[in-house]
Amino acid sequence: MEMVTIKINGSDVLAPKGSTILEAARSAHIEIPTLCYLKGINEIGACRICVVEVKGARSLVAACMYPIDEGMEIRTNTPQVVDARRKTLQLILSDHNRSCLSCVRSGACELQQLCKQYKVEDERFYEGERTEFAIDKTAAHMYRDNSKCILCRRCIAACEQQAIGVIGANDRGFAASVGCAFDMGLGETSCVSCGQCIAVCPTGALSEKDYTNEVNAAIASDKVVVVQVAPAVRAGLGESFGLPIGTDVEGKLAAALRRLGFDKVFDTNFSADLTIMEEATEFLERVKGGGTLPMITSCSPGWVKYCEHYFPDLLEHLSSCKSPQQMFGAIAKSYYAQKLGIKPQDMVVVSVMPCTAKKFEIGRDDQSATGVPDVDIAITTRELARMIEQAGIKFTELPDETFDEPMGLSTGAATIFGVTGGVMEAALRTAVETLTGETLANLDFTDVRGVKGIKEAAYDVAGMKVKVAVASGLANAKELLTKVRNGEADYHFIEIMACPGGCVNGGGQPLQTAGVRNFTDIRAERAKVLYSEDKARPLRKSHENPDIQTLYKEFLGEPGGHKAHELLHTSYVKRKVNASK
């Protein structure tokens, strides 16, 4: 790689030729502000907040787009630069609903931070006409409030990166807005509820539907309220309380949930182990019985909805297993309710998920095994952080506590469900030992690890070559599924997660600014938490979870048996593109 020397604010900086001023400055520990720029997906140089001075250039240049060359001299913070950034912010604010006091993003809003940084307080352009927007509440998982939109297009890019593209720019000039075609509500389109658009939005224009009041009301009621928490939450929640990305907060998470008043604090990892029992059994049945292959995992509701809309002809490839969230609810309201001697309707199951699509999933058909919804309320990691804050719980001071039993014990295999490749690895650990009857010497299937969009591997198992593939992010899923559809792939088993990198990067995880996202692989940092937890667990294979063994012995019978099918399996529907049904 050819390196060049440039000057930034008078100091020499050595950086790769062709890298942008933004990147070169960051390598010299100088952060140039951005609003529209998102590395790799939204490099449009539109917002002009990143302008800098380059010696010899006739005007200010956009640092996110401008490549460096030998001897270039750059100034990132001159009065002219500051004035230009301030004017840009004033213009944005001239048509912005400035309800910061009650805004869901207040304190974590990139626009608000920049206005503070550049002391933009005046009302310079605030007089005059403002555009009026109604809040789009039609989707199951999120709101769009265009009165807080700054037209940066990061959401459009995120949705296109997911190969969905149900949002775009409408109209021009003063009337310009971001939304769906033909004024459709998002809930009327083939949006898959992944929440990747929310994760990249710099302001409060996009937000998950908040159900924290409903959770507090349930806790205050006479019902038994049990909470389950997904694996990826423990790898992300700490960020909401100022801890570094990649901090494991499992113990504090259990302690916080108890202090919020839940009657039982359980772990979705338990039902991730259960999912593996059912999914591995289904896979082996398909292999032995000549069933539809490749079998594709079904634990990511964003992916399932994508398949229903965009590849309905491949639905028979989907495993019929419910997701761990839904399996947990079904078992809590049957097995556990029976243990407590209460009716399913006297229990409220709350789930804490890294995912916004889980809000859609709880309302799907065929997810009410006991006659009432398996899960009553799904909240995201962000909503949980809000509840903890509102309750005055000093998260970072909490002692480490453990989950309650019997639905709190889990294996390392379940923990890695939160990362791309994790479900495949967990399933392989159980399927290989079941097929061979032997104990695996090495439990680490490293070929399916890592943040690469598509991974492939082949394993010799009991005389059979088992070919697997893993995709995360729906554009990668599309590529893989197109091969399956065209008969160009001979995989036996495929894992797909809707969000790039898997649930650790889910649309409900704590938000990180573009300044962080552009220079840190948050997926990889959070994934490390789950792999370390897996390594440290005394049990690392789902079929060795003693509480799962007891559940089958006392209640379910055999994996894949009649009762398991009634409670733990589901069905899918064919949907159209650009329509919700």
Shortest spacing between CB 354 and ligand SF4, in angstroms: 14
Strands 11-16 and 142-144 turn out to be unpaired
Contact 356, 195 (CB under 8 A): yes
Please state the closest distance from residue 345 (CB atom) to ligand SF4, in A: 31
State yes or no: residue 432 binds ligand SF4 (CB under 6 A). Answer: no
Taking contact as CB under 6 A, which single stretch among the options 73-81, 105-113, 288-296, 509-517 is the one that binds ligand SF4? 105-113
Q: Which CB atom, from 317 or from 359, has the smaller least distance to ligand SF4?
A: 359
254: tokens are: 């259990």
Helix (H, G, I), strand (E, B) or coil at 118: coil
Question: Does 105 interact with ligand SF4 (rule: CB under 6 A)?
Answer: yes
Tell me if 117 contacts ligand SF4 by CB under 6 A: no
Applying the rule CB under 6 A, the residues between 168 and 187 that interact with ligand SF4 are: 178
Q: Contacts by 36-39 with C-beta closer than 8 Å and gap 24+?
A: 36/64, 36/152, 36/153, 36/154, 37/64, 37/514, 37/518, 38/154, 38/157, 38/158, 38/200, 38/514, 38/517, 38/518, 39/517, 39/518, 39/519
Indicate whether 298 belongs to the interface with ligand SF4 (CB under 6 A).
no
Confirm or reject binding of residue 84 to ligand SF4 (CB under 6 A).
Answer: no
Contact 95, 177 (CB under 8 A): no
Do 414 and 540 meet the contact criterion of CB atoms below 8 Å apart? Answer: no
Residue 316 zone, left/alpha/beta (φ > 0; ψ -120 to 50; rest):
alpha
- In three-state secondary structure terms, 175 is helix
Identified binder of ligand SF4 from the candidate list 78, 99, 390, 520, rule CB under 6 A: 99
Is 230 a binding residue for ligand SF4 by CB under 6 A? The answer is: no
Q: Which is nearer to ligand SF4, 150 or 529 (CB)?
A: 150
Residue among 132 and 438 whose Cβ is closer to ligand SF4: 132
Location of structure tokens 């108890």: 258
CB of 147 to ligand SF4, least distance (A): 9
- Rounded to 10 deg, the angle between the 381-390 and 212-219 helix axes is 60
Q: Is 22 in the site for ligand SF4 (CB under 6 A)?
A: no
| Residue 109 in contact with ligand SF4, rule: CB under 6 A | yes
Which run of H or E residues covers position 14?
strand 11-16
Question: How far is 358 from 352, CA to CA, in rounded Å?
Answer: 9
Member of 4, 149, 233, 481 binding ligand SF4 (CB under 6 A): 149
Minimum distance from residue 175 beta carbon to ligand SF4 (Å): 15
Q: Which of 21, 60, 120, 201 binds ligand SF4 (CB under 6 A)?
A: 201
- 237 contacts ligand SF4 (rule: CB under 6 A): no
Tokens matching residue 136: 């789009």
Of 209 and 452, nearer to ligand SF4 (C-beta) is 209
**Which C-beta is closer to ligand SF4: that of 357 or that of 480?**
357
Which CB, 201 or 233, lies closer to ligand SF4? 201
Number of chain residues interacting with ligand SF4 (CB under 6 A): 39
Q: Which is nearer to ligand SF4, 303 or 328 (CB)?
A: 303
Question: Tokens representing 235?
Answer: 């790898």
199/254 with CB nearer ligand SF4? 199
> Rounded to an integer, what distance in angstroms lies between the CA atom of residue 413 and that of residue 423?
8
Closest among 351, 361, 310 to 331, alpha carbons compared: 351
Helix and strand numbers (H, E) in the chain are 20, 17
Q: Which residue in the set 194, 321, 355, 567 belongs to the binding site for ligand SF4 (CB under 6 A)?
A: 194
In sign, the C-alpha dihedral spanning 48, 53, 59, 65 is negative
Query: Between 154 and 364, whose beta carbon lies closer to ligand SF4?
Result: 154
191 binds ligand SF4 (CB under 6 A): yes
119 lies in the binding site for ligand SF4 (CB under 6 A): no
Label the pairing between strands 73-75 and 454-461: unpaired
Binding span for ligand SF4 by CB under 6 A among 43-51, 95-103, 220-228, 536-544: 95-103
> Is the N-terminal amide bond of 33 cis, ω within 30° of 0?
no
Between 106 and 550, name the residue whose CB sits nearer to ligand SF4: 106
If the CB atoms of residues 106 and 221 are measured against ligand SF4, the closer one turns out to be 106
Q: Which is nearer to ligand SF4, 199 or 414 (CB)?
A: 199
Closer to ligand SF4 at the Cβ: 180 or 256? 180
Shortest Å distance, C-beta 194 to ligand SF4: 4
CB closer to ligand SF4 out of 398 and 474 = 474
Which of 4, 8, 192, 432: binder of ligand SF4 (CB under 6 A)? 192
Give the residue, chosen from 76, 196, 247, 271, that forms a contact with ligand SF4 under the rule CB under 6 A.
196
CA quadruple 530, 534, 536, 542: dihedral positive or negative? positive
The reply to whether 221 sits near ligand SF4 by the rule CB under 6 A is: no
Neighbours of 232 (CB within 10 A): 31
x/- letters, 348..367, toward ligand SF4 (CB under 6 A) = --------------------
Quick check: 112 binds ligand SF4 (CB under 6 A)?
yes
Q: Which of residues 150-169 bind ligand SF4 (CB under 6 A)?
A: 150-155, 158-159, 162, 164, 166-167
Amino acid identity for residue 422 in this structure:
G
Q: Give phi and psi for 506, each to the nearest 5.
A: -65, 160
Give the tokens for residue 122. Answer: 């005046």
φ, ψ at 57 (rounded to 5°): -80, 145
Q: Can residue 203 be called a binding residue for ligand SF4 (CB under 6 A)?
A: yes
349/376 Cα distance (integer angstroms): 5
Residues that bind ligand SF4 (CB under 6 A): 96, 98-100, 103, 105-106, 109, 111-112, 148-155, 158-159, 162, 164, 166-167, 178, 191-197, 200-206
